[in-house]
Structure 1
C-alpha cells in the first residue's frame, strides 16, 4: 500500500498555477491593487522606482512579464489562462505604483511588457537638463552640519 501511494505521488503533476516555483503561481494573498513598493512613481526618480519594482517582481518570480522573456502562450494552450491572470496581476501592481496621471496614460495597454516599454521610453533616459542639474548639485554639495556617515550617504545618493 505504501509503495502504491508513493508511486501515485511521484506521478502527480502539479498544475503550474499551483506550483510555487512556477512563473504562473499567484499566492492567495496577492492582490492586483497591492502597492508592492513604497515609492509611488510621479514622473521623477524613475530609476529608483524601476529598481524597486524589478527587485520585488523578481522576488515574486514575475519579472519575465515585464522584460518580455515570457511571451504570451498560443490561444488554446494549457498555459493561456494562467498567463493572462499573471499578466493582469503584474499590470495591476504597476498601475497601483503610479501617480494617477501616469496610470491613466498606460491604462489601455494589453500587457505588462507593453507598459514597461512605454514607461522606459518616456522616463528611462534622463534629459540633458536633469544631468546638468545633478552635476551642479554634486559640484556644490557641502553640508557642514552632517555627520561623516550622513555626508557620505547623501553624496552617494547624488
Structure 2
C-alpha cells in the first residue's frame, strides 16, 4: 500500500448503480490495475495463511480495496455487500448479480430487433441521394 491510499480514494466518474455496471467495472479495473491491486478482486492474490508474516498486510490491503469498492457504489448496492468478507467476494457478487439482471434485458432487446420492421421500400430498393 502507498501512504497516500485511504478507503475513500477511488477515482471513478460515477458511483455504481443499476445502469452503469459495465462502465463502472472498466473504470474500477483500470484504477485497481494502476494501484497493482487487481489480484485482490480477480482472486490471483491469495489470502496468506494466518501464520504467514504477510497475513496482516494482505488483510489490510483487502480492507482498503473493500473501502474503495463500496465508496464507489450507490447506497442501495453498498448496503447489499456490506458484510462481504473480501474484495473478491464483493466483486464476484456484483458480477453474478449484474449478469443475471442483464440476461432478461438481452432477451428483450433481441426480441425487439426481431420484431423491428422498416416502413416503406426496402433499403436495397432506395435510390442514392445525389450530391451536387
TM-score range, shorter chain: 0.7 to 0.9
Q: Within 2, Cα distance between the matches of 1:53 and 1:121?
A: 17
What aligned pairs does 1:98-109 form with structure 2 within 5 A after superposition? 98-109=73-84
- Residue 103 of structure 2 aligns with which residue? 127
Match of 2:18 among 37, 43, 54: 43
Q: Within 2, Cα distance between the matches of 1:31 and 1:123?
A: 27
User: Displacement of 1:35 after TM fit?
Assistant: 2.9
Matched residues, number: 114
Change in 2 beyond 3 A, CA 1:134/1:32: farther
Change in 2 beyond 3 A, CA 1:59/1:135: farther
> What TM-score, normalized by structure 1, do the two folds share?
0.65
Aligned-partner SS, 1:58: helix
| 4+ runs deviating over 6 angstroms | none
Structure 1: runs of 5+ lacking an equivalent:
1-25, 140-158
- Residue 8 of structure 2 aligns with which residue? 33
User: Displacement of 1:127 after TM fit?
Assistant: 2.6
**Structure showing greater relative contact order (alpha-carbon pairs closer than 8 Å, 6 or more residues apart):** 2
> What TM-score, normalized by structure 2, do the two folds share?
0.77
